[in-house]
Amino acid sequence: MKKTTITLSLIATLTMSVSASGGLMDKAKKAGLQPIPEDKTALFKLTDNPKNPVTDKKVELGKKLYFDPRLSKSGLISCNTCHNLATGGVDGVGPATGHMWRHNPHHLNSPTVYNAVFAKRQFWDGRSPDVEDQAQGPMQASPEMAATKEHVEKVVRSMPEYVKEFQEAYNDPKFVPTFKDVADVIGDFERTLVTPSRYDDYLNGNENALSKEEKEGLKVFIDKGCASCHNGVALGGSMQPFPVAKPYKYANVGDFKGDKNGMVKVPTLRNILETRPYFHNGAVWSIEEAIKIMGETQLGTTISDEEAMKIKAFFGALTGKKPYVRYPMLPASNDKTPKPNLK
């Protein structure tokens, strides 16, 4: 008898939950939240770059170069050093730290590479339009990989295996890879780094993909206005004024002021529970604190501890499935390969 009661009660709860969240799903869509498409063709359309078409060969080659520390001046730092695929696509430290242990001069934090393809702009000041263009930056930045274009080209051209892979990828037996080509195939690889999550399953129509707590969190997230910036497939990725309502609490960490109009790129919230520390200057380690600061700074509203906990629960559903990455075995350097320079 008791068992039956519990079962009936459970069914009642589930039914309520379903009808309530049916409204929530519409609400989420109206707020501009969009899923990663389930359909592979639709996803490819969203992630491909007609100017730099994604092909299997370019992705595989780009993966090798993404992991190759020899592209850096020291030979020690690869794209993956700061955008580590093992740890949410980030380095987990405050300021990005690179060549000679130099920190980013503005104390800027490395954003995640996962789902970067969905962002409208790249870099915290949005100066770059896409991942291919972005990839050219860190290779040359003196506190990051500190290489020159010539260094990168010499390294890649010194290894016949790389040259052959470029020639095959571009279907041209005389192809000589340039710095831009290196960034392009790295960009192709990055375009595959998307992480569908239960949140996407939900927006794609699966009512049961989110728990009751996560749905409550999503509702608070929308009601508080978070989705006014964190929207689209990227849950961010556009340029927005910052700060809006109140000064940023940790503005003293670094001297970053955004682009020339004071606009700052909204970071994606996908995998946010894996990408501490938070904000452009990596000043905040607690997601609850980050949520509350955003309420004050951007929305001019107070987010209570309870509401922050609910939003955090929702964020749990944004942790996505990472693509399968076979760790690449790279071609051996040889007498023609520039020697690393640790200074």
Q: Which is nearer to its own copies, 74 or 240 (CB)?
A: 74
The residues of the shown chain that bind its own copies, judged by CB under 8 A, are: 67-70, 74-76, 81, 84-88, 91-95, 97, 100-101, 103, 273-274, 276, 285-286, 319, 322, 324-330, 332-333, 335, 339-340, 342
Q: How far is the CB of 89 from its own copies (least distance, A)?
A: 10
Burial class (CB in 10 A: 0-12, 13-18, 19+), 302: exposed
The Cα–Cα gap between 335 and 333 comes to 7
Q: How far is the CB of 274 from its own copies (least distance, A)?
A: 4
Under a CB-based contact definition with an 8 Å cutoff, are residues 185 and 200 in contact? no
Under a CB-based contact definition with an 8 Å cutoff, are residues 103 and 143 in contact? yes
Q: Which is nearer to its own copies, 121 or 198 (CB)?
A: 198
Q: Which is nearer to its own copies, 101 or 260 (CB)?
A: 101
Helical ranges in 95-242 per DSSP H: 131-140, 149-158, 160-169, 179-190, 198-203, 212-224
Q: Which is nearer to its own copies, 40 or 101 (CB)?
A: 101
Q: Name the CA dihedral angle for 304, 265, 119, 60, rounded to a multiple of 10 degrees.
A: -110
Rg (CA), the chain: 22
Instruction: Give phi and psi for 263, each to the nearest 5.
Output: -90, 145
Cβ neighbours for 265, distance < 8 A, ≥ 6 positions apart: 111, 119, 121, 122, 123, 124, 125, 126, 236, 237, 238, 239, 240
Residue with token string 């559903």: 317
Q: Which of 71, 341, 66, 102 is nearest to 179 (CA)?
A: 71
Question: Active-site positions?
Answer: 144
Q: How far is the CB of 190 from its own copies (least distance, A)?
A: 15
Q: How far is the CB of 69 from its own copies (least distance, A)?
A: 7
Q: How far is the CB of 295 from its own copies (least distance, A)?
A: 20
Q: How far is the CB of 262 from its own copies (least distance, A)?
A: 28
Q: Which is nearer to its own copies, 127 or 154 (CB)?
A: 154
**66 by DSSP, 3-state: which?**
helix
Q: Which of 83, 323, 29 is nearest to 196 (CA)?
A: 323
Q: Which is nearer to its own copies, 91 or 153 (CB)?
A: 91
Q: What tokens appear for 293 in the block?
A: 């600061």
Under a CB-based contact definition with an 8 Å cutoff, are residues 199 and 70 in contact? no
Instruction: Give phi and psi for 203, each to the nearest 5.
Output: -65, -25
Q: Which is nearer to its own copies, 170 or 315 (CB)?
A: 315
Q: How far is the CB of 86 from its own copies (least distance, A)?
A: 5
